[in-house]
Amino acid sequence: MKHNEKEYTIKEALLFSQRVAQLSKALWKTIEKDWQQWIKPYDLNINEHHILWIADHLNGASISEIAKFGVMHVSTAFNFSKKLEERGYLEFSKKVNDKRNTYIKLTKQGEEVLAQLLEDFSPDRNSVFKGALPLQNLYGKFPEMIEMMCIIRNIYGDDFMEIFERSFNNIENSFYEENGTLTKKERKTEQLLSSS
């Protein structure tokens, strides 16, 4: 086979693309509904919750980082971050060693809201979790995401996946479970200056 010759047919490409599209749309619809129900008592939308989540895991992030890792437009990241600042959940700051870029950081109130959200998480109200439970019961573990992660890495790059992995490592290392509830451990925060 020649180097530039395709190892797939157009039909295979179409079938793969459409399977991924249809499955992703169906999965997203369920995820979106569950996510909205989870955060509804806190008067947050998905973008706002995602921004709080990313800011927490990056321990301060620029708006462009929020947009990149939140898979949203920069103006969306900025506008929702401003709304969160108005509610007292975020503060805009400058790092001591980088006065060029503006960063967002969780306030104490923002940290408390995220902690409360984690405490309120219930697997019983998560359709995707419940959908995967029969596989966990059968194989003793939840489905691996390695192939999906490979596709996402090829689309969004290594930086995206590093942040993705860091966020889950942060959960693993920064929270403990007691009596069926997640609680966040205290952590040192990087020194930030409030912006004027």
**From the centroid of its chain, how far is CA 133?**
22
Q: What is the pLDDT of residues 21-38, one digit of tens each?
A: 999 999 999 999 999 999
Task: Give the pLDDT of residue 190.
Answer: 42
- 99 vs 138, higher pLDDT: 138
Whether 106 and 47 map to the same domain: the answer is yes
Mean pLDDT of 92-97: 82
Whole-prediction pTM: 0.80
Same domain, 104 and 70: yes
Domain match, 106 and 167 both: no
Domain that holds residue 140: 122-181
Three-state SS letters, the chain: CCCCCCCCCHHHHHHHHHHHHHHHHHHHHHHHHHHHHHHHHHCCCHHHHHHHHHHHHHCCEEHHHHHHHHCCCHHHHHHHHHHHHHCCCEEEEEECCEEEEEEEEECHHHHHHHHHHHHHCCHHHCHHHHHHHHHHHHHCCCCCCHHHHHHHHHHHCHHHHHHHHHHHHHHHHHEEEECCEEEECCCCCCCEEECC
Q: Are residues 133 and 115 in the same domain?
A: no
Structure token digits, residue 34? 């569950």
Residue 18 lies in a domain: no
**How many domains is the chain partitioned into structurally?**
2
The number of angstroms, rounded, from the C-alpha of 26 to the middle of its chain's C-alpha atoms is: 19
Token pair, residue 92, equals 């805009």
Closest CA to 103 of 52, 55, 62, 50: 62
Q: Write down which residue in 120, 137, 153 finishes a domain.
A: 120
In a domain, 186, yes or no: no
Boundary-marking domain end, from 72, 94, 120: 120
Residue 150 has pLDDT above 70, yes or no: yes
Q: What local confidence, expressed as pLDDT, does residue 46 receive?
A: 97
Whether 133 and 79 map to the same domain: the answer is no
Q: What is the per-residue pLDDT across 30-82, written as a single tens digit (0 to 9) for each?
A: 999 999 999 999 999 999 999 999 999 888 789 999 999 999 999 999 999 99
